[in-house]
Amino acid sequence: MAPKLPPIAPTKGLRPRYWETVPLKKMSAAEWEALCDGCGKCCLNKIEYEDTGEVNFTRIACRLLDGESCRCANYEIRHQFVPECVQLTPKKLEKISYWLPQTCAYRLVHEGRPLYDWHPLISGDPESVHDAGASVRGWTVPEFEVPEEDWDDYVIEERP
């Protein structure tokens, strides 16, 4: 008997379990956006050490991150405020997947790994990422409160 698959989030217009069968480059814009679990980890400022290539995440959030929703407060026009914000695409993903959190759905799919049970596409609940403690809700520091030379003091261990 085949294992019972987890429920799928009510996602209008998305193919069932598309992330398991559709290559990232072939996903529709809606499917691509729905892969985002809403954790907010990609909006944490990172330190990349040139000598080792190591990337450390900090508790310091981008100025546009809404700490409650864990979403960008100005997503559509974010580049006007944060020109260096990366617009993730399948092509860019190939080059910067190491920069994404270990739990990121884009990274997981790119690496051929399954989504976590708390991902909204699996759970059917956009709050499940927060309930699982897999988001940055409630523990970030706004970037304007910490001088860049002090970011090392805010390095975190990435949460599973």
Residue 60: name the closest of 82, 41, 79, 85 by CA.
Answer: 41
Mean pLDDT of the chain: 88
Q: Using only the alpha carbons of the chain, give its radius of gyration.
A: 16
pLDDT of res. 3: 38
Residues written for the chain: 160
Q: How confident is the model over 2-24, as pLDDT tens digits?
A: 334 344 444 677 999 999 999 99
Encoded amino acid at 6, one letter: P
Locus of tokens 């217009």: 13
Encoded amino acid at 117, one letter: D
Average pLDDT over residues 127-155: 95
Six-digit token pair at 75? 């997503």
CA torsion angle for 71, 54, 20, 35 (degrees, to 10)?
10
N-to-C CA span, the chain: 31
Q: How confident is the model over 75-90, as pLDDT tens digits?
A: 889 999 999 998 899 9
On the question of pLDDT at 144 being above 50, the answer is yes
pTM score, whole prediction: 0.85
